[in-house]
Structures are given as structure tokens and as C-alpha cells.
């Protein structure tokens, strides 16, 4: 302590008082790093000069594990990557293996998959929106979001028995057919859910303080977003009209009428935190529309287990399949050597790639903005670290 004071006195006396940068360790136990992310911040006062993200605190060797598993056994492991979007993870993996095997799944299975994936997208966005609000200091919208997410989880639980990690979308089919009254439950949910969006909009998204906190903050220009490989709401928030559900159609998304929500810089600059946030808000409504249309043409009957292979040993070969996860492009690169276990399964995780841009867009911002930026990227550490 006294040495510090001496240094200070000397500096003042000699007229050469210098300021220095400060290294602050944010995480892995920090309230707003959304898990166990660790950021080393180099700060000049409160201004961020440089960020060095350190990852791996939640590394569970997913890819290596997958090599020791049979194909169906990998599905529960995919759940555990992006644990807020387990259905979408299952879906991507199932598609990859199915394409390698050359399986066509029944119509009803496709419909159920799409409905489940979109419900999961809403659930995941609800968490993203709620926690983003919490990052900028509003706690109440978070709980309103979680309340509605519970309704979705209830539907999932009734269908497949699990609330978070479903192991539901299997290679070639589903683990269970939907429960009785599924259509009614989903329609009910959408009816209950729409007012919440308005409420959260009024309580949080159009609040002046919230706009001030998020507009013009963490601006991600479209070219930077593309060159870093950002995807999902992160990319669309920057005004790039790109959604795999439309641009690389899989499953039956091409049958529905829905819009790709793109950021427009309404409150600030194109590609700021508010844009990313509002893309998520808008996507929830689009998901509702997809679900409603899917429910209208939902095939009344069909055997969901019809296409499930008895034995899965894909021919030698490799495939890259990508789906639109709530956080962006989730890709599975699968190599098969003809045996019952994948030879190699590489995952391209959207959170991981999106996170890489944080240093670029946070420089020169305050710590408070960094928290907002991190919240708007919406990472799930389970998938960043895998």
C-alpha cells in the first residue's frame, strides 16, 4: 500500500504521472458470463481495450465420446451441447445420419420434428431475451419469459417424458409419438404466449433505458459478421438475410409461409445489440406462424417408427449437415467407416463461432456494454466448450 502511495507521490512530483491498463478477470464464476466462460479484460479505466476469452471449463469431449458410441447412443450426447435447444441438436444429428443412410422419414415425423424444433426455438429465445434483460439489470421480464418457457417444457414432457434433454428426435424417427391432445396443447400455448411478447416488448424492449443501453452498442457490421462466420440472429441482426431454414431447406420448412427477420437498426445503428435482440423477439412470432401452419396440415395418423433402422451402419462416407439452431448454424460433419460407431463427428457450434467476434465488437466500450454485448450474443457454454 505504501509503495503504491510512494509511486504515486513520485509520479506527481516528477510531473510524469502515468496511467496504466488494468487486467480484470471476468469469470468463470461471474453472474453474467452465462456459465463458465472466462474473459480476461484489459481495461483502461472502465473502457475495454482487449478481451481474451478462455474456454474449456465445460469441456466434456463430446466429439471423442461420439466415436465410442453407436449412432443412436450419440443422440443423448447431442442434447447436452446446446442444452437450451436440445431438440434442434437432435434434429441436426438425425438429419446427418439419415442423409448418410439415405432414409426418408414419414410425413408425420417431419411435421412433429418441425413443430418441436420451432417450440424449442421459442423456448431458447425466451431464455436469451430474459437473460439479456437481466444482464442490463431488469429482472422481472426474465421471469415472465421463464414462465412461458415452462409451458413449452410441459408439452415436451408430456410427449417424451423429459423437460430439458429429450433424446426425442431419433435417427429415422422419434422416440415417441406425440401425446393425445398435443395439437390442442400447442395451440393453447401459442394463444397464451402471444400476449407475453407484447408485454415483454412494453416492459423491456421499448423501454427507453433499455434502448439507451443496447442501441449503438456492440455494432457488428455485416462484413465483419460474415468474415467471422457468425450465424443465426447474430448475423441477421447485422442485416444479412440468411436463414438455413429458407436458404438450405431441410425437413419441410419450404412448405410454410414465414419471414426471415432481419435487423433494421430501428433504434440505433444496424447490427447493434438491440437489433440482435429484436431479431429474436421477431423470430418467436415467426416460429408461432410456422407452428400454426404445421398444425393445420398435421397428418392425423402415421407410424413414427416406420423408418427407424433396426441396425445403423452407414456406408463408408462423409457428410456435412447443417440446421438452423436458435443460435445459428449448427453443423455436423460425420465420417462413417461403415461400422456401428461414427468414425469422426465434428460439430460446428454456433455459440462458439459467434463468441469469437466479441473482442472485435467490444473494444472501446464500457464494462457495462461488454455485459450487454455478451448477453446479445446469447452463448450457451455447453456448446461453446462441448
Partner 1 sequence: MSGYFKDIYEGIATALIGMKITWKHLFVRNVTIQYPDEKHDIPERVRNRLYVNMDDCIGCDQCAKACPVNCITIETAKSLPEENLGETSTGHKKKLWVTRFDIDIAKCCYCELCVPPCPTDCIFMTPTYEFSEYNRNDLIYRFATLEPGEAAEKTANAERIKMETAAKRAAELEEKKRAAAEKAAAEKAHDAGDPTAPSPIEHVAQRTDTRERTPKPSNTGGETSEPSSSGDKSAPSASSSGQPSSSGSDPFDMKTAPHDGSASVRSDAGADRDASSRPAAW
Partner 2 sequence: MESLLQSFFGDNILTLLLYCSLPLVFLLLYALLAILGEVKVSAWMQDRLGPMRTGPYGIIQPIADVLKLLQKEDITPANADKFLFNLAPYLSFMSAYAALAVIPFSSQYVGADLNLGLFYLLAISSLNVAAIMMAGWASNNKYSLYGSMRAVAQIVSYEVPAAMVLVIVVMFIGSLNLQDIIIAQSGPFWNWIVFGGPKQDVMLASGHTLDASWTNLIFFPLFLGTFVMYYISGLAETNRTPFDIPEAESELVSGYHTEYSGMKFAMFFMSEYANMFIVSAVTAILFFGGWNSPFGVYLGDAFDAPWLVAVEQFGWLVLKGLFFVFMMIWIRWTLPRLRVDQLMYMCWKVLIPFSFGVALLVGFLVVIL
Q: In terms of CB distance, is 307 or 319 closer to partner 1?
A: 307
Scan residues 172-191 and list those touching partner 2 (CB under 8 A): none
Residue 46 interface partner, choices partner 1, partner 2, none, CB cut-off 5-8 Å depending on type: partner 2
Which of 121-129, 183-191, 203-211, 377-385 is the region at the interface with partner 2 (rule: CB under 8 A)? Answer: 203-211
Q: Which of 153, 170, 175 is nearest to 91 (CA)?
A: 170
Residue 166 phi/psi, 5° resolution?
-90, -35
Angle of CA points 371, 372, 377, to nearest 5°: 100
Enter the C-alpha cell of residue 173: 424417427
Q: Is 7 in the site for partner 2 (CB under 8 A)?
A: no
Q: In terms of CB distance, is 55 or 134 closer to partner 2?
A: 134
Q: In terms of CB distance, is 105 or 371 closer to partner 2?
A: 371
Q: In terms of CB distance, is 8 or 68 closer to partner 1?
A: 68
Q: Which of 69, 40, 66, 42 is nearest to 54 (CA)?
A: 40
- Out of 58, 270, 335, 340, the only residue in the binding site for partner 1 (CB under 8 A) is 340
Total of chain residues touching partner 2, rule CB under 8 A: 30
Which of 72-80, 140-148, 257-265, 287-295 is the region at the interface with partner 2 (rule: CB under 8 A)? Answer: 140-148
Name, in order, each residue with C-beta under 8 angstroms of 33's C-beta and a sequence gap of 6 or more.
Answer: 26, 27, 39, 374
DSSP assignment of 3-53 equals: HHHHHHHHHHHHT------EEEEE-SS-TTSTTT-EEEEEEETTEEEEEEE
Residue 269 interface partner, choices partner 1, partner 2, none, CB cut-off 5-8 Å depending on type: none
Q: How far apart are alpha carbons 97 and 167 in whole angstroms?
A: 15
Q: Is 213 in the site for partner 2 (CB under 8 A)?
A: yes
Residues that bind partner 2 (CB under 8 A): 1, 22, 24, 30-32, 46, 133-140, 143-144, 147, 203-204, 207, 209-210, 212-213, 366-369, 371
Amino acid at each position: 500500500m505504501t509503495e503504491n502511495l510512494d509511486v504515486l507521490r513520485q509520479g506527481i512530483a516528477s510531473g510524469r504521472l502515468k496511467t496504466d491498463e488494468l487486467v480484470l478477470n471476468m469469470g468463470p464464476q461471474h453472474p453474467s458470463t452465462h456459465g463458465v466462460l472466462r474473459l480476461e479484460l484489459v481495461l483502461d479505466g472502465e473502457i475495454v481495450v482487449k478481451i481474451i476469452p478462455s474456454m474449456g471449463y465445460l469441456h466434456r469431449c463430446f466429439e471423442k465420446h461420439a466415436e465410442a458410441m453407436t449412432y443412436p447412443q450419440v443422440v443423448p450426447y447431442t442434447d447436452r451441447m446446446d442444452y437450451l435447444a436440445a431438440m434442434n441438436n437432435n434434429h441436426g444429428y438425425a438429419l446427418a445420419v439419415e442423409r448418410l443412410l439415405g432414409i426418408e422419414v414419414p410425413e408425420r415425423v417431419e411435421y412433429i420434428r418441425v413443430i418441436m424444433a420451432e417450440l424449442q426455438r421459442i423456448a431458447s429465445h425466451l431464455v436469451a431475451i430474459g437473460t439479456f434483460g437481466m444482464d442490463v439489470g431488469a429482472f422481472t421480464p426474465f421471469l415472465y419469459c421463464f414462465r412461458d418457457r415452462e409451458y413449452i417444457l410441459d408439452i415436451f414432457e408430456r410427449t417424451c417424458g423429459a423437460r430439458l434433454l429429450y433424446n426425442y428426435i431419433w435417427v429415422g424417427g422419434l422416440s415417441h409419438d406425440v401425446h393425445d391432445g398435443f395439437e390442442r396443447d400447442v395451440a393453447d400455448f401459442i394463444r397464451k404466449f402471444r400476449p407475453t411478447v407484447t408485454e415483454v416488448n412494453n416492459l423491456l424492449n421499448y423501454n427507453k433505458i433499455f434502448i439507451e443501453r443496447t442501441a449503438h452498442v456492440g455494432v457488428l457490421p455485416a462484413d465483419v459478421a460474415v468474415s467471422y462466420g457468425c450465424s443465426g440472429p447474430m448475423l441477421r441482426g447485422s442485416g444479412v438475410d440468411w436463414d438455413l431454414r429458407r436458404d438450405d431447406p431441410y425437413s419441410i420448412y419450404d412448405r410454410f409461409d414465414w419471414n426471415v427477420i432481419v435487423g433494421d437498426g430501428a433504434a440505433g445503428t444496424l447490427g447493434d445489440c438491440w437489433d440482435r435482440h429484436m431479431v429474436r423477439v421477431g423470430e418467436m412470432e415467426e416460429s408461432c406462424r410456422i407452428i400454426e401452419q404445421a398444425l393445420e396440415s398435421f397428418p392425423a395418423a402415421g407410424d413414427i417408427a416406420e423408418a427407424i433402422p433396426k441396425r445403423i451402419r452407414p456406408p463408408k462416407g462423409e457428410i456435412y449437415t447443417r440446421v438452423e439452431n436458435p443460435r445459428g448454424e449448427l453443423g455436423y460433419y460425420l465420417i462413417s467407416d461403415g461400422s456401428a460407431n461414427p468414425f469422426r463427428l465434428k460439430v460446428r457450434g454456433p455459440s462458439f463461432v459467434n463468441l469469437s467476434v466479441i473482442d472485435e465488437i467490444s473494444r472501446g466500450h464500457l464494462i457495462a456494454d461488454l455485459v450487454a454485448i455478451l448477453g446479445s450474443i446469447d452463448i450457451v457454454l455447453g456448446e461453446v466448450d462441448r
